[in-house]
Structure 1
Amino acid sequence: MKDRLRIQHWRIGTKLALAFLIVVLLPLLIVVVPAVSQRLSSLREQNEIRLEALGPYEINRTEQAFQSLVSEIERLVSSRSNYAQIEEYLYRAPTVLQAEQREQLERQIDVRAIQFQSSAPSITRIRFLDSQGTLLRQIPQQADMLAETPSNQLIQAGKLGFRTTISTIYLDLNGHPSIDVIYTFRPAWDTTGIGSVVGYVVFTHDLLLAEEDPLLPDLYAALLDYPKGDLPTRIFLLDQSGQLVSPSVGINLLKDAHSSEGFVRGQRGEAGVSVYYSPLLSKDVLGYHKTVTFADGPQLTFLLETPMEDLNALAMQEVASTLLPVALGSLFLGLAAAFLARRAMVRPIERLTMAAREISAGHLDADIPVLSQQDEIGVLNNTFRDMTNQLAELVNTLEDRVRQRTQELEAARAEAERANQVKSQFLAN
């Protein structure tokens, strides 16, 4: 069995077929590897350009959505009747009021809150706070809501814009990504923000309801798969602590998102495209990373990630689609050449081998056809045929001589016997 595996024991036809395949396919392999590497490099450059264009586009789209949200909230609140009633409530609610007066104010403010919610379906809660950030009233009045949200921290720290501020994105008790819009009420005469604050109205928006809400156009669409191009690109938003905000309720916040090299580079102020390992996708990616702090809004890190394995697969696919017809054609030509070589070279040698075996067994009349080809195989075949014919003639001649000599010996023996008989008769007489 081991001897059969050695190439010197292979049949000539097998060796020729292998040689042809190596000669044909080896150059293809030499071409394929550089072609794949070159195509991968080209795809990477194309996707770097694509991500460098897509990243700022998504950032600008998100910024426009924030501005649109702020404008719509300010439009709702600042209408003369709404503003006056809310301002009156914020002024008088913290003071000592008669029960009837307080109930009347609360009914009026509840009506305004319900009107706000009807005009913006994504608003899940409206809170009214005094100048110290103490909760005065919230609509709806449910106990299964977060007692405090990032907006409380912003109010306590005094990190608010002049009029409207957007908090960072967070999860509510239902696991829904939410965002707070804080409207700061100031005295009517205060146009600089140096005066005391009257109070705050905090609008909580459920981002999963963004598509149904005219106040949140495309705000959360940046978290969905980017639909263009041949490669899947995931777009992620991370808050300032490195937690992922996701459109999927099942994913919620990924606790290890802060370990993403893209997030780390974005936090260092490095904006651009690079290759790094993404814990969000659990694979190496070509990713765009940038951290942006929006005016009177949250700090978000944008990650746009394309898996490197998809780039590699696409490069292989494109090279294969280009070279496969060439490879199949070369393989066909190689097999055809091997078949013709076998017919022209191997079959005469095989016939000659069979004839040699018959001759070695004593059959000198073995059929060895004359070959018209004048190459080495033809010369060998015809020479072997002549040698066999000469050997057959020599054997036939030798047999005739042996037969003739045998006859002569038989005649001599008979003559000797007759002479001996005559001699015996003579002596007897």
Structure 2
Amino acid sequence: MPLRLWPFAVIILPLTALATVLAWHDTPPLHTAAFLAVAGAVLTLVTLALAGHEPAAEASPPADTAPLQFLRAGMGRELMELLPQPLFLIEQGGRIGYANLAARDMFPRLSQARHFANLLRAPAFVEAVTAAFDSDEVRQAEFVLYQGGELHLRAHVCPTRGEITDDAAPVLVLVEDRTHDRKIEALRSDFIANASHELKTPLASILGSIETLQGPARDDPAGQERFLALMARQAERMKRLVEDLLSLSHIELSEHLAPRTECDLLDTAREAGAAVSPLLRKQGVTLEIALSDQPHPVRGDRDQLIQVFVNLLENALKYGRPEGRIVLAPADGDPRWPGMWGVSVIDDGPGIAREHVPRLTERFYRVSAKASRDRGGTGLGLAIVKHVLNRHRGELQIESTPGVGSRFTVRVPKAPESVSQNLAGAGNSTVSR
């Protein structure tokens, strides 16, 4: 209770007790009131006298020292715990004296009393911390850690001059995660390089056709129709290329964030088959959907998984046998990928040589660049499949035998048991083709 309130408690409580006792003994009201008034006056004088002797330690600190005492009282540590950026203190001698919650999350091996150089083995960072101990200047260091992937970090190293603890002045380190920014920069650079390379051929074809229409084919109706059709094909190719590049860039930006929504893997495969069926029929290719009605629940992005199967079915159409057969079927379990559902896209095309298989998911990699362009391929379809499955923590299994055909199997982790029960109870929707 604040000091300014306790005198009132000292007055009220005894008076209440006295009133109760007098009422119990049937004391006349006039005598009771007089007695309480005298007792109240005496207690008031006593408590006011005591309140005037408050200890000096309870007085408010001067304005210039309040922040320092505020931190040393423990509130500073609570504030540092709430910071979203990793922050830790390095004591004299190099041992870590404190690390906030964000730092402990980013560096699971971090522990107090451990030397900072054993935690972050980055010469630039070690040099910045050493220099901060030797001078009063704030230092910065950028470095890369390999911790389940590349982490691009920037550390702000600041000497504290003893303002945080009463011991020898530690060094405060604030870490900034720049991985996302670097990824955006790399994607922008790759986009420009890949787009300029892949757009060069159709642009050159369109410009050549325009020159021909303005010159030799100016008065040739048949020639005009032929070159206009060529320009339309090349423009359509450019459109597909730009759409695939934008789609791939969007997927890569969110690749590190696992999906939180739920869907059925077989339903997404059926919907993709329904979307591609008109194109397959136009080309004379038969699509056989051999998927069961049993639920195959996964935690995934429904639209992205549909895109995976559409890309695989279109690839089977482009590179399969003319008037051939494509099968969409569930895949058997594989001990190499436990706890995953699988769906396979199987074609009876010419197959792929073994040396090409490991590189099929690379951007713009083609077994035959000319054949791919002639069929309208952009070289990005399987790259999109790979990055979508990376986001879903899944796998793409490719098996191919030259002269027999190819099998592309999509494997996605099963949903947790609770999700499985929910989906099973809700039923399984079927998409007709």
TM-score between both structures, scaled by the size of structure 2: 0.23
- Tell which structure's C-alpha radius of gyration is larger: 1
- Which structure has the higher relative contact order (CA within 8 Å, separation 6+)? 1
